[in-house]
Structure 1
Amino acid sequence: MVLVGAIRDYVAKMLSELTGMKVLIVDKETLGFISVVFSQSDILHKDVYLVEPVDAPPTEESLGHLKAVCFLRPTGENITQLKRHLKNPRYGEYHLFFSNILKSTYIQILADADEHEVVRGVQEYFGDYFAIDPYHFTLNLPSNHLCMVPSVMDPHASQRAGDRIVEGLASVFLSLKKRPVIRYQRSSEIARRIASDVGKLMYEQESGLFDFRRGDNTPLLLVLDRRDDPVTPLLNQWTYQAMVHELIGLEDNRVDLGPPTGAKAKTEAQQLVLSQEQDAFFKANMYENFGDLGANIKKMVDEFQAQSRSNQNLQTLQDMARFVENYPEFRKKSGNVSKHVSLMSELSRIVDERILMSVSQIEQDLACTASQATAFEEVSTQLDNEKVGDVDRLRLVLLYALRYEKENPRQLEQLMTKLSSRPSKYKPALVYTLLRHAGVEKRTGDLYMNRDFINRARNIARGLKGVENVYTQHQPLLTQTMENIAKGRLKDVDYPFVGSHYAPAGRPQDVVVFIVGGSTYEESRAVALQNNTASGVKFVLGGTVVHNSASFLSDLEEVYRLERTSDLV
C-alpha cells in the first residue's frame, strides 16, 4: 500500500500514453497531487510544454498542434470551466482525466459542450489526495476546524467538509484496489458519520466500483478523531521532518524560508523541496533527532568539500572530461548541501531565539510524566520568564490543563491568571475551549497510559528503560492504537465496526488510519517505525490536514470564534 507509487503511476500513464507535445491542464488541488510526487523536470521529460490552470483567463491564441491532458477533480466548478474550454477550444485534442468518481450528469454536460468534437476520451484516475510520503497522505481540507465543532454551527459547510473526506477515502482505496472493513472511534460523532458514509458509498452506492477480488485478508479503515489526542499537535518536535514543519512550515513537501535579509521579494532559492522521493539525504535523515541530524549534515558538508577540492585539481584532459561528465551530479549535490545547511541554520536560530530547549523539556514532562506539583512549578516558572514567547506560554498551559484538568482546578486558575498577565494575540480562553472539545470526558483512548494497570505497567516499564533523547520521549496515542491492532486487541466496544456484516475474520494485514481533524509528522514517523517491525501489519496514515502547533491553535481559535458567534457557550 504505497500511495506515492499509485499517484505516480496514474500521472505517468496519463502523460506517457499520449505522444507528442502536450499541455497539462489542472486545478489547484490536482496540481498539488502531482507536485508532491513529480518534480518539474519529471514533468518536462513527459513532453509537457505548458502547465495551465483550468480557470486561466481565455485567450484568442490557438495552439491546435498541441494536445491537452486535463487532470481535474470532478467538481461543479471544474465542469463549468471545462465547458468554457470546449465551447471555444484552444487545443487540437482534449483528453479528460478525473481524480475521483465522475457523476453521470457531468458526463452529459461535457458531451453537450463538445460541439467541436475535440474530446478524445474521459477516464477516472483515482488520485484525489496528496501523497506526501509513501505511507502518509492528506486532503489539505481548508476548513479543518469544522471537524472540531458540532455541525449545527454551520451544517452546510460541515456537510461539504464531510463529503470531501468521504471522496478522499474512496479515492485512496480505489487507487489501492481494495475495499476495507470499517471501524471508528465510538466517542466521536463525526468519526461515526464519516465511517458510515464511506461504508454506504463502498458497499451500497458504488459497490460495483469496489468489487475487487477478495484476498485472504480484508484491509481495515479505522476513522479516528484528532480530539482523542490533542497533545501530539501541541508539542515542539525534534526530528527533522516534524521539526521543519513545526518551526518553519512544510506544505506539500515544500519549505518557504522567506526572502533573504534585505530582499523585498521571495526568490526561487528560498523555496525548498523536502521530499524523500527526490532527496536521498532527507530520506535517510527525516526521522533523525536534532543532535544526530547536525552531525550528519556536518559529515555531508565535509564530504562535499573533499569532492570540491578534488575537482579543483584538474591536471589532464581525462580529469577535465570526467569533471564535465559528473558536473550535473556535482551541481545537484551542491544545491542539496546548501539546502540542508540553510534549514539547519534556520532551525538552530529559532531554537535559540525561543529558548525551546528548556520549554520543550517541560512539554515532554507534561506529556509523559505524572508529577502534578512539579509540573505546576515548572510551568509557573516559564510563564514568568520574559524570554518565553506568547505561543509557547499558551501551549504550556494547554498541555498542563489537558493532563491535570481533574486534579487541582485552583492551580489551573493560577496559571490562567499568569497567562493573562501579559498582552498576547492568543486568548487565554482557548484553554477552556480545548477542554470542552478534547477533555478527558470526550476522549476514548488512554492518552496518558494511566487508566488501567496494564497501561500503567507499560508506562513504568518505558520510564525504567529510559529514552535516548528526552526531547523525543513522547509517543503519540496512535502508537498504542497500532500496537493493539497488530496484536488483535483493539476493543470492539471502543472502536465498533460499521455494520456487522463488514466484520472480518482474523487480524488485518493492511490498515489505513484516518484522523478527522488532522494528522502530524510525529504520527507519520510512528507509522514508519511500526511498519519496520515484524508485526506483519502495514499501516498508512491519512488526515484532513497535516498539523503543527500553529495550525492546531488556528483551528482552536476558529472554534472559539464560532462558539462566540453562535452563543452556544
Structure 2
Amino acid sequence: MVLVSAVRDYINRMLQDISGMKVLILDSHTVSIVSVAYSQSELLQKEVFLVELVDSISKSNESMSHLKAVFFLRPTSENIQHLRRQLASPRFGEYHLFFSNLLKDTQIHILADSDEQEVVQQVQEFYADFVAIDTYHFTLNVPSNHIYMLPAVVDPSNLQHFCDRVVDGIAAIFLALKRRPIIRYQRTSDIAKRIAQETAKLMYQQESGLFDFRRTEISPLLLVVDRRDDPVTPLLNQWTYQAMVHELIGIQDNKVDLRNIGKLPQDQQEVVLSSEQDAFFKANMYENFGDIGMNIKQLVDEFQQIAKSNQNIQTIEDMAKFVDNYPEYRKMQGNVSKHVTLVTEMSKIVEERKLMLVSQTEQDLACNGGQVTAFEAVTNLLNNERISDIDRLRLVMLYALRYEKESPVQLMQLFNKLASQSPKYKPGLVQFLLKQAGVDKRTGDLYGNRDLLNIARNMARGLKGIENVYTQHQPLLFQTMESISKGRLKDVDYPFVGNHFQQGSIDTSPCHYATHGAWSWTRGTLRKTIAC
C-alpha cells in the first residue's frame, strides 16, 4: 500500500498525538484525500466526533471551546483567509493546522499575525496533496483536465492555475515517497514540457534542500505525457471489472453512485469500491467480465452457506458465537449485495447498447488492418438502430484515427452518416480530434506499424492467436513502460529536463515516515524544520 500508506501515515500522525475530542476540518480537496484512505469508524477511534468543511465552519459563530480543531487544508489563498477569520475570533479550544503542501512565507506571516490569542498549537506541512485511489494510482481530481492539452482555447491564467496544481501534486507525491526523480517529457506536447520544466525548477532550484534525499540505487523517473499520444484507449469499451464500473456507471473517490439505477435500500445507493477495503474487489478488479459472473456466483454460494449455518442456532454458545460474528456477517452480506447489483446493472447496459458487438469492431479498428472490412463493419453498426449515439461517435473516431490518410472519401461518407443518424454529435468533433491527436501530432508508434520491433511483435501476437478478442488491445503506455524498463525510450522523443542524476549516497536511512515540514512562531519570529 505504497501511496495509501503514505496518506494514512500522515492522517495518523495528525490525529494520534492530539488527545481528547476533536473536530476535523477539511476543504473540498482534502475531504477526498481523507475519505479514500480513512473510514468513518477509524476517525471515531481517533476521537474525531465531527467532520466539517472549512467554508461551512467559517459561516458559523457557535462556540465549541471543548473541542480541539484539526485543520487539514490545501495551502490556497482562500483557505488562508478562512483561517485568518477563524483565528481573529477563535471558536475552538486549540487549533492544529496541517497543510497538504508547501506554504508560502507570506501565508505563514498572515497566520502568525492573526494568532493574537495564541490558540495555534502547531503548523505543519504534511505532503498528501493527492487522492490515493489504490496502492499505485492517484488522481488530482482536476475537472475537465483534457481541455488543458489545448492551450490555444484556454485562458492563460487558468492554464497557469492548472500547471501549478499539477506541479503541486507531483511534488507532494515525491516528498511523501522521499524521492527526487529524473524528469522527462513528451516532445510534441507544450503542456507536458511546461509541467516538466516547472517541476524541475521546483525540485532542483527553488526547494532543492527539501528534495535533497539520499538517492536510491535506481533513480525514479517522472515521465510527463498527455493523452494526445494515445487517443485510442479511452475510446474503447473496457472489459475488466474496475474499468467497466468506471466506464458504464462511474467511480469518484472510490465511491459508486447507484441512485439512478432503480429502487435500492438506502445503504446501497452509494457504495465503496476500494481494493484496500474489499477483498473480493481486490482479487477481481482486473479480471475479465466473463470471469466475474462465475466468481460472484462463488461468493454468493459461500455467503449462503454462512447464512444457513447461522440459522441453526440451538444453544447459548451458538447464539454468542453468532453475535460475535455478526459485524463480519453484515459486512459480507453488504459486499455480496453490492457486487451482485453492480454486475447485474452492467449486464443490462451491455445488452441494451449491444456493447459486445460494438467492442469487437472497436478492437479490430485498434489492432488489425484492413480498411475495406473496417469501413463495412462501421457502416453496418451506424445503420443499426440498437447502437447508441455515443458508441456511433466512438466508432467513427476510431476509424478516422486509423485511416485518416488512407480513405478520405469513405471518411467523409461516415461523417455524413453520423450527422444524419446522431445529429447531436457534430462531425466537427471527429475533425477536431484529428486536428489535435492525428498522426501528425503523435509521438509514439500508436498502431505498431512504423517500428520494426513493433511490427514483429504484432506478427507474433497474430500467429499465437488472441485469447480474448474483446481485450486484445494494449495501450501505448504499455509499450512506453516496456521501453523504459529496457532503456530504449528515445531521448529525441522524450527529452530530459533538469539534473539527470541525483547526488549523494545510497539511501540507508532508518526513517520509515514520509517527509513533513513544521512551522513555529514565537512573538513574530518564524522557524521551519524539515523532518521524516
Q: Normalising TM by the smaller chain, what interval? A: over 0.9
| Aligned-partner SS, 1:24 | strand
Structure 1 residue 217: Cα displacement: 2.3
Deviations 1:9-32 (A, max 9, x none): 101110111111100000010000
1:418 corresponds to: 417
| Contact 1:165/1:194 (8 A) holds in 2 | yes
1:295 corresponds to: 294
| Aligned-partner SS, 2:133 | strand
Deviations 1:487-507 (A, max 9, x none): 1111111111004x42579xx
Residues of 1 paired with 2:492 and 2:42: CA distance?
48
1:205 corresponds to: 206
| Aligned-partner SS, 2:440 | helix
| Aligned-partner SS, 1:146 | helix
| Aligned-partner SS, 2:65 | strand
| Contact 2:239/2:471 (8 A) holds in 1 | yes
| Contact 2:197/2:497 (8 A) holds in 1 | yes
How do 1:84-103 residues align onto structure 2 when only pairs under 5 Å count?
A: 84-103=85-104
1:15 corresponds to: 15
When residues 329 and 50 of structure 1 are mapped into structure 2, their CA distance, relative to the original with a 3 A threshold, is same
2:128 corresponds to: 127
Residues of 2 paired with 1:364 and 1:196: CA distance?
37
| Contact 1:363/1:396 (8 A) holds in 2 | yes
Larger-Rg structure? 2
| Contact 2:23/2:67 (8 A) holds in 1 | yes
1:428 corresponds to: 427
When residues 392 and 473 of structure 1 are mapped into structure 2, their CA distance, relative to the original with a 3 A threshold, is same
When residues 504 and 402 of structure 1 are mapped into structure 2, their CA distance, relative to the original with a 3 A threshold, is farther
Structure 1 residue 143: Cα displacement: 3.9
Residues of 2 paired with 1:426 and 1:258: CA distance?
27
TM-score, scaled to structure 2: 0.92
Structure 1 residue 267: Cα displacement: 3.8
1:115 corresponds to: 116
Q: Which moved more, 1:1-10 or 1:218-227?
A: 1-10
Which residue identity is paired with 1:20?
A: G
Identical pairs, percent? 66
How do 1:181-260 residues align onto structure 2 when only pairs under 5 Å count?
A: 181-259=182-260
| Contact 1:184/1:192 (8 A) holds in 2 | yes
Q: Which moved more, 1:316-325 or 1:18-27?
A: 316-325
2:32 corresponds to: 32
Structure 1 residue 427: Cα displacement: 2.1
When residues 417 and 259 of structure 1 are mapped into structure 2, their CA distance, relative to the original with a 3 A threshold, is closer
Specify every segment of 5 or more residues in structure 1 that has no aligned partner in the other structure, as ranges: 510-569
Structure 1 residue 216: Cα displacement: 2.4
How do 1:65-76 residues align onto structure 2 when only pairs under 5 Å count?
A: 65-76=66-77
Matched, 1:437 2:468: no
| Contact 2:261/2:345 (8 A) holds in 1 | no
When residues 143 and 496 of structure 1 are mapped into structure 2, their CA distance, relative to the original with a 3 A threshold, is same
| Aligned-partner SS, 2:339 | helix
| Contact 1:173/1:179 (8 A) holds in 2 | yes
Deviations 1:327-382 (A, max 9, x none): 11001000000000000111001001101010011111111111111110000000
Residues of 2 paired with 1:286 and 1:143: CA distance?
25
| Contact 1:143/1:161 (8 A) holds in 2 | no
2:359 corresponds to: 360
Which residue identity is paired with 1:213?
A: R
| Contact 2:132/2:139 (8 A) holds in 1 | yes
| Contact 1:146/1:161 (8 A) holds in 2 | no
Q: Which moved more, 1:207-216 or 1:57-66?
A: 57-66
Residues of 1 paired with 2:393 and 2:170: CA distance?
34
| Aligned-partner SS, 1:387 | coil
Which residue identity is paired with 2:497?
A: V
1:408 corresponds to: 407
| Aligned-partner SS, 1:488 | coil
| Contact 2:296/2:340 (8 A) holds in 1 | yes
| Aligned-partner SS, 1:441 | coil
| Contact 1:146/1:158 (8 A) holds in 2 | no
Deviations 1:449-506 (A, max 9, x none): 110221101011112222322111111101001111111111111111004x42579x
Structure 1 residue 260: Cα displacement: 6.0
Residues of 2 paired with 1:18 and 1:388: CA distance?
58
Residues of 1 paired with 2:157 and 2:258: CA distance?
37
CA RMSD of aligned residues (A): 1.7
Residues of 2 paired with 1:226 and 1:261: CA distance?
35
1:556 corresponds to: none
How do 1:309-388 residues align onto structure 2 when only pairs under 5 Å count?
A: 309-388=308-387
Structure 1 residue 422: Cα displacement: 2.0
Deviations 1:71-103 (A, max 9, x none): 000000100111111111111000000000000
Residues of 1 paired with 2:473 and 2:164: CA distance?
34
Which residue identity is paired with 2:378?
A: V
Residues of 1 paired with 2:78 and 2:275: CA distance?
33
Residues of 2 paired with 1:83 and 1:270: CA distance?
39
Which residue identity is paired with 2:374?
A: A
Specify every segment of 5 or more residues in structure 2 that has no aligned partner in the other structure, as ranges: 508-532
When residues 326 and 234 of structure 1 are mapped into structure 2, their CA distance, relative to the original with a 3 A threshold, is same
Residues of 2 paired with 1:70 and 1:447: CA distance?
46
Structure 1 residue 7: Cα displacement: 0.5
Aligned length: 504
Which residue identity is paired with 1:448?
A: Y
TM-score, scaled to structure 1: 0.86
Deviations 1:509-558 (A, max 9, x none): 9xxxxxxxxxxxxxxxxxxxxxxxxxxxxxxxxxxxxxxxxxxxxxxxxx
How do 1:387-536 residues align onto structure 2 when only pairs under 5 Å count?
A: 387-499=386-498, 501-503=499-501
Residues of 1 paired with 2:427 and 2:270: CA distance?
35
